[in-house]
Amino acid sequence: MAISDPVKPAAAKGGQTAALSLTTLAFTISFAVWTIFAIIGVQIKQDMGLSDTQFSLLIGTPILTGSLIRLTTGIWADQYGGRPVMFISMIAAAACTWLLIYADTYALLLLTALGVGIAGGTFVVGVSYISKWYDKAHQGTALGIFGMGNVGSAVTKIFAPFVMIAFGWHAVAQIWAVALLVMAVVFWVFTKDEPELRERKAAGRKAKSTREALAPLKNLQVWRFSTYYFFVFGGYVALALWLPRYYVGAYDMDIAHAGLLAASFSVAGSMFRAIGGYLSDKIGARKVMYMTFIVCVVCCFILSYPATDYVVHGIEGDIRFSLSLGFWPFTVVVFVLGLFMSFGKAAIYKHIPVYYPDNVGSVSGIVGLVGGLGGFFLPLGFGILNDLTNVWTSCFMLMFILVAIALTWMHLAIQRMEKQRHPELRGPKFFPELDTAAHNRRPS
């Protein structure tokens, strides 16, 4: 597929700053709503006596909806424009969040949580919308700034515990719903349609059909990007949801302190995404991805090691010692993990408008869908592993396996592409004498 620049410099006249800033703010509040169960779910778990598996299903249900609708909302954003799709998604999510206060059983909570998940679909809409305001030399930085909206999960962790302690979890749902509704109106009033949509309407051109929009999904490369995003984004969402529970259970903290410490991970995994986008523009997204996966492998290995007591039978008696991470070293390593996850998220979405400039919505949709599914299945896996193994660090064991697979696949794919581009790499590059030996063995 030919790589072209999707935005003509003259096309993005006016509205660029408002588009980026308000879309980022809208996504921030949407993300805060999307991860609301990370805090109110802890109280609901206590009130209803839920198991870890039931709790992880509850916090993961909005993530499931927000993931599954991403392909559809991404295609709609390309066809009808990101602005109206973003507005409608936010209104629908706000209404469902308000309805949480009427859910008085576990089944009703799960049903309403499905609607809350619509807030998660705003991400790919924003990617499609923002990418069409910027040329490819600046898309990485712009999308990195937009992706900082992931900090919405930190907003929930910092403020929701205090609201919940003072007024109950119903108040959290009501305030978050009103905030999302107000933001939807502000976004609609002060933004414009993207330049590409305005040009298409002026020229009377029809939007791409759904079949045409889905055509790039036949490329293995798209699914490779999706696998990477399953870890860097799905893993980020999963830990953002799981860490308050982890701190409460593993370190015996109250929810307010657990929320604040967990927020440091959310901040690291979101606020530095703009730096990841900038680095992707300057040194290349591939280098950023290598840095991301290598550091994440190390962090997940450290975090996965369970607290263990050792006894060494010494000459004059037993020598006892323990290996474990206190909550401060744990928080530091988790912060570093979140930091490099944010770099990886930006690097992946730097690739998409460059390789697929005419199908940003659909490709972003499938990558976001698979990544978002990580945010659903991983918390569920964390809960099941807790129940089965009775080891708190089992969640990081699973994360270690995932990032090791992603790093291996990426490296093998890059090696294969380099050999196709440079056939000389297929030979004995560092041992030319093998060529001579092989030649001498050939029959004359």
Higher pLDDT, 92 or 354: 92
DSSP code for 253: -
Cβ–Cβ < 8 Å for 176, 184 = no
What's the pLDDT score for residue 2? 39
pLDDT bin (cut points 50, 70, 90) of residue 97 is very high
What's the pLDDT score for residue 361? 67
Across residues 377-396, what is the average pLDDT? 87
**22 CB neighbour count, 10 Å cutoff:** 19
| CA–CA dist 236, 297 (Å, integer) | 14
pTM: 0.70
Task: Residue 112: name the closest of 127, 129, 132, 97 by CA.
Answer: 97
Query: Each residue of 288-302: pLDDT tens digit?
Result: 999 999 999 999 999
pLDDT bin (cut points 50, 70, 90) of residue 271 is confident
What's the pLDDT score for residue 407? 93
Is the pLDDT at 61 greater than 60? The verdict is: yes
Task: Residue 27: name the closest of 125, 114, 100 by CA.
Answer: 125
What's the pLDDT score for residue 14? 58
Give the torsion sign (CA, 145, 175, 267, 40). negative
DSSP-assigned states of every residue in 57-88: HHHHHHHHHHHHTHHHHHHHHHHH-HHHHHHH
Is the pLDDT at 404 greater than 80? The verdict is: yes
Q: What are phi and psi of 50, to 5 degrees?
A: -80, 150
Give the percent of the chain with pLDDT over 70: 89
Low-confidence winner among 29-43, 111-125, 137-151, 165-179 (lowest mean pLDDT): 137-151
Six token digits for residue 237: 């969402």
Task: Residue 91: name the closest of 111, 109, 118, 126 by CA.
Answer: 118
What's the pLDDT score for residue 183? 96
Contacts (Cβ under 8 Å, ≥6 apart) of 346: 140, 143, 144, 147, 273, 274, 275, 276, 277, 279, 280, 288
What's the pLDDT score for residue 108? 93
What's the pLDDT score for residue 442? 54
Across residues 109-123, what is the average pLDDT? 92
Q: Torsion-angle region of residue 254: left (phi > 0), alpha (psi -120 to 50) or beta?
A: beta
Contacts (Cβ under 8 Å, ≥6 apart) of 237: 35, 63, 153, 372, 374, 375, 378
Cβ–Cβ < 8 Å for 283, 343 = no
Which domains are assigned to the chain?
Answer: 16-430 (1.20.1250.20)
| R_g of the chain computed on alpha carbons | 24
Across residues 387-412, what is the average pLDDT? 90
Q: Which residues pair with 41 in a beta bridge?
A: none
Query: Each residue of 219-245: pLDDT tens digit?
Result: 777 888 888 889 998 898 888 878 888
**336 CB neighbour count, 10 Å cutoff:** 16
Q: Report the chain's mean pLDDT, rounded to a whole number.
A: 83
Residue 55, CA atoms < 13 Å, CB-side half-sphere: 28
| CA–CA dist 99, 121 (Å, integer) | 19
| CA–CA dist 177, 196 (Å, integer) | 32
What's the pLDDT score for residue 244? 85
Is the pLDDT at 279 greater than 70? The verdict is: yes
Query: Each residue of 336-385: pLDDT tens digit?
Result: 999 999 899 888 878 777 777 767 667 777 787 888 788 888 888 888 88
Is the pLDDT at 85 greater than 90? The verdict is: yes
What's the pLDDT score for residue 7? 47
